[in-house]
Each structure stands twice: as structure tokens, then as C-alpha cells.
Amino acid sequence: MSSEKIILIMMLVISLFIVVISGCTSLEGDYENSILSFKIPENWTVDNSNSSDAIVSLKPQNSSSNIISIQSSDSDTSKIIEWYINNYPVKYPSFQVLKRESVKVDGQQGEKLVYKNTAQNDSLRVGPDYISSLVVFSKDNQTYIISSSEVPEDNYYSKVEPAMNVVVGSIRIKGNMLN
């Protein structure tokens, strides 16, 4: 066998090896850091710029705005939900709870709040409805909040809610690494 054929075969074997190894170590559509992991919803990207107090944020592909964020807090789960329910109507009189329910998140009992508001700067309270949601749960003595920005109603139900469901259904907390 000529040396050119041996080199060609070795290059093919090395290329195949690299493809196999990279396929085993990285599952497309998954995100992981030292605190948590989750499945990235289809047509969404992760923003690790840490421009806010979020552990991680997500945005739809081809968007410059983060829509979903995951944060941690030392507050009690029920106090966070109650704060929204008691304080948002004061600042935004058109605030309305659409759904409040228990959810399972990473094997823990959590709570989901979906709420509606109208255009925030509209003093007549006439305008499009904006929907947002948050899921709050605790694990290892730490509270986690998965929240969405307020978006137009049709965008919430067609894009944001399905993405929130993917994140909530797949998130795994690695342990209390924040303290």
C-alpha cells in the first residue's frame, strides 16, 4: 500500500473518530452550566452574557431580546407568587391572573402563575393584552424562578408558552452551588 493511501485512510479514521467523539459528548439542543441543565427549545438560543441577574436567559432565534430568564432567590416560593398577585395590580390596574397552578419541576413541587396586562404606558388601559408567566420552585434550600417577559397574547401562546414548557419540563438543578 502506498504512503498516500495510508495517509488518506488515517485521515478518514481520525475524522470519523472526531465525529463520533463529538457526537457522544455534546447533545444538540441541551444547555448545561455548573448550576443547572435543560433542553433548549427549538428555534431558541441561550444568552450567557450575564447582562442581568439571571443565571441564564433565552431568546428566540433572530431576536435581540431575552424573553425567558432563570434566576435564583433566597425568598420562599409562595412569597414570590403572592408578591406578584398583591403588588402588580397596584402598579398596573389591568393586571389579571389567568392561571395559578401547581407544577412538578425537577421532582419538586412548584407553582406556575400566568398573568395578563395591557400596554403598560396606556393611561386609558386600552391596548393589546400582554401575557407573561413565571414558575417558582425550590431545591436544595434555594428558590429558582423561570419567568417570561410580557409579550403580545398571540406570541405568548404560540412561542413563549411552548418554550417555557420545554424548559420547565427538562430543567435539572445540580445542587446548591450558589452559597
Nearest in space to 161 (alpha carbons), one of 46, 45, 60: 60
Higher pLDDT among residues 15 and 22, named by residue: 15
Mean pLDDT value of segment 81-93: 84
Q: What's the burial of 96, exposed, middle or buried (CB within 10 Å: 0-12/13-18/19+)?
A: middle
Average pLDDT over residues 13-17: 46
pLDDT 10s digits, 19-36: 333 333 334 589 999 999
Integer Cα distance of 35 and 48 in angstroms: 13
Q: Which residue has the higher pLDDT, 168 or 84?
A: 168
Mean pLDDT to the nearest integer, 105-130: 79
Cell 396586562 belongs to 117
**What domains are there in the chain, each with its CATH number?**
28-173 (3.40.1000.10)
Residue 18 has pLDDT above 80, yes or no: no
Range of lowest pLDDT (19-28, 54-63, 85-94): 19-28
Report pLDDT digits (tens) over 127-143: 678 999 999 999 988 99
Q: What is the mean pLDDT of residues 63-88?
A: 90
